[in-house]
Amino acid sequence: MTPDEFRKNGHRVVDWIADYYEHLETFSVLSPVKPGDIRAALPPAPPEHGEGFDAVLRDLDEVIMPGITHWQHPSFFAYFPANASGPAILGDLLASGLGVQGMLWATSPAATELETHVLDWLRDLLGLPETFCGNGVIQHTASDAALVALLAALHRASGGRTEQEGVHSGRFTVYTSTQTHSAVEKACRVAGLGADALRKIDVDPATQAARPEHLRTLIEADVAAECTPALVVASVGTTGTGAVDPVRALGEITREYSAWLHIDAAWAGVAAICPEVRWLNDGLELADSYSTNPHKWLLTNFDCDAFWVADRAALLGALSILPEYLRNAASESGAVIDYRDWHVPLGRRFRALKLWAVIRWYGAEGLRAHIRTHVALAQEFASWVAADERFELVAPHPLSLVTFRLREGDDATRALMERVNAGGRLYLTHTAVNGQVALRFAIGSPQTQRRHVEAAWAALSA
Ligand SMILES: Cc1ncc(COP(=O)(O)O)c(C=O)c1O
């Protein structure tokens, strides 16, 4: 594709995306296709001769679009949001256009320095501890962040032995609440500890937040059995109900036993951009690492997980390997960051560009307005649920996730969800709270307005 052909087709693609956003509301939120429908509509073999971009755009409309679930739809209330926005899409396009691979500072100095700088901006915007300053990196996802935190924790707990001897250099244990995202168990499996190394901390049934006294009991039993507590993961905003663990109390116990404290704030963390919800940050000065996803609720296209460490030594100790072909003067002088040592892959995209574009386009006040709109809508939605005696709220809802159920029971609650989702006008998902089915109503699309939340409540209550 020549630059001129790129220009011509690129304009059409940008128009296509702009049209998509203009007409987003007309689509059914959930894709109606059946398993195998999309593959059946695709040619069995790749083309022998190149095709024009017309053919690609035609098949995008005719074959691909029916199989799209519209995450950016204003009535997408499922899971947690995966925000996209104009500046992030354009920033991502620029990153693709530049096509740089920023594994080392030297392989594109701006890719590294912009990333460090933008994460310092974000640290400041979120009111995170000073110790994170200069110690931020973009991971693909919160799951990668949890894995990397575990590897750093194992490095520290083993005195650097895990790098040579593996996880069998000790009997390491990991602690997190029953409500924590499955990413932590996956990290234990990937790191070779196995799920048996993971201890689940009980939660308070009313708040769904971890009980510090149970963490202490679990750790004491392990220490008595000659295990080494390596990592405690606290959640700021659990996946099921958005519960916020008591980070300070968990952190104090973690410190007593010299374990690593990682905070998984994948969804909720970005809300701390609003000073009125800075209580989310209580105790973070005790954290060794912290992650939150601008790709969930801060207008930055997937993927973009912001991860910080208070002290980078253990992270680098766990992950840095220096083969001859990656040696270079700038790195060895210690004057620069080489992000290849801060995550699992070697190569990396210039993901900071889209986050930079988002922060510059919206400014701090625009980002705060984005969060505040959703929090206010969720509070209003929760008040409607509370006022209807057929329903009950099942957990606190200080941000933009509301969990609730029908008093009639699990079957009725599940049937309600299936019925409204089948209608195609909205999409919400479920969870289990204290062993009972509950519906999750997560507001977070930049396109969502009050009328969409009203329409959703009208459908649910009808
Ligand atoms: C609290 C929490 N942690 C981790 C994750 C995993 O996120 P990611 O897709 O970034 O790995 C999620 C996903 O929803 C989550 O809610």
With cut-offs at 50, 70 and 90, classify the pLDDT of residue 323.
confident
pLDDT at 139: 98
CA of 48 to the centre of ligand 1 (A): 41
Token reading at 18: 């702009």
Taking only the tens place, the pLDDT of each residue in 249-268 is 999 999 999 999 999 999 99
With cut-offs at 50, 70 and 90, classify the pLDDT of residue 159.
very high
Evaluate if residue 160 carries a pLDDT over 80: yes
With cut-offs at 50, 70 and 90, classify the pLDDT of residue 12.
very high
Which atom, in ligand 1's list, is nearest to the CA of 265?
1
Taking only the tens place, the pLDDT of each residue in 394-431 is 999 999 999 999 999 999 999 999 999 999 899 999 99
pLDDT at 65: 97
With cut-offs at 50, 70 and 90, classify the pLDDT of residue 116.
very high
Evaluate if residue 331 carries a pLDDT over 90: no
Q: Please name the residue that has the structure tokens 């059914």.
A: 28
CA of 332 to the centre of ligand 1 (A): 35
CA of 142 to the centre of ligand 1 (A): 5
Q: Do 150 and 188 touch, CB atoms closer than 8 A?
A: yes
Q: Work out whether strand 436-442 and strand 429-433 pair parallel, antiparallel, or are unpaired.
A: antiparallel
With cut-offs at 50, 70 and 90, classify the pLDDT of residue 384.
very high
User: Three-class SS of residue 218?
Assistant: helix
Does ligand 1 lie within 6 Å of residue 143's CB atom? Answer: yes
φ and ψ at 402, to 5 degrees? Answer: -120, 125
pTM for this predicted structure:
0.96
pLDDT at 334: 77
Nearest-CA residue for atom 16 of ligand 1: 239
Does ligand 1 lie within 6 Å of residue 138's CB atom? Answer: no
Does ligand 1 lie within 6 Å of residue 80's CB atom? Answer: yes
Express as a percent the part of the chain with pLDDT over 70: 100
Which atom, in ligand 1's list, is nearest to the CA of 237?
1
Q: Please name the residue that has the structure tokens 């790098």.
A: 163
Please state the rounded mean pLDDT for residues 118-143: 98
**How many Cβ atoms from other residues are within 10 Å of residue 435's Cβ?**
7
φ and ψ at 137, to 5 degrees? Answer: -150, 150
Please state the rounded mean pLDDT for residues 436-450: 97
Which atom, in ligand 1's list, is nearest to the CA of 141?
10
Does ligand 1 lie within 6 Å of residue 293's CB atom? Answer: yes
Q: Which of 143, 144, 295, 431 to mutate to test the pocket of ligand 1 (most atoms within 8 A of CB)?
A: 143
Evaluate if residue 119 carries a pLDDT over 90: yes
pLDDT at 359: 98
Does ligand 1 lie within 6 Å of residue 183's CB atom? Answer: yes
**Lowest-pLDDT choice from 244-253, 261-270, 303-312, 333-342:** 333-342
Which atom, in ligand 1's list, is nearest to the CA of 303?
10
Does ligand 1 lie within 6 Å of residue 222's CB atom? Answer: no
Q: Please name the residue that has the structure tokens 């992030």.
A: 88
Evaluate if residue 346 carries a pLDDT over 80: yes
CA of 240 to the centre of ligand 1 (A): 11
- Looking at 191-289, list the stretches that DSSP marks H as alpha helix, in order from N- to C-terminal side: 212-224, 247-256
Does ligand 1 lie within 6 Å of residue 307's CB atom? Answer: no
Indicate the average pLDDT of the chain: 96
Residue 76 gets which letter from DSSP? B
Nearest-CA residue for atom 9 of ligand 1: 141
CA of 41 to the centre of ligand 1 (A): 33
Express as a percent the part of the chain with pLDDT over 90: 95
CA of 107 to the centre of ligand 1 (A): 30
Taking only the tens place, the pLDDT of each residue in 285-305 is 999 999 999 999 999 999 999
With cut-offs at 50, 70 and 90, classify the pLDDT of residue 157.
very high
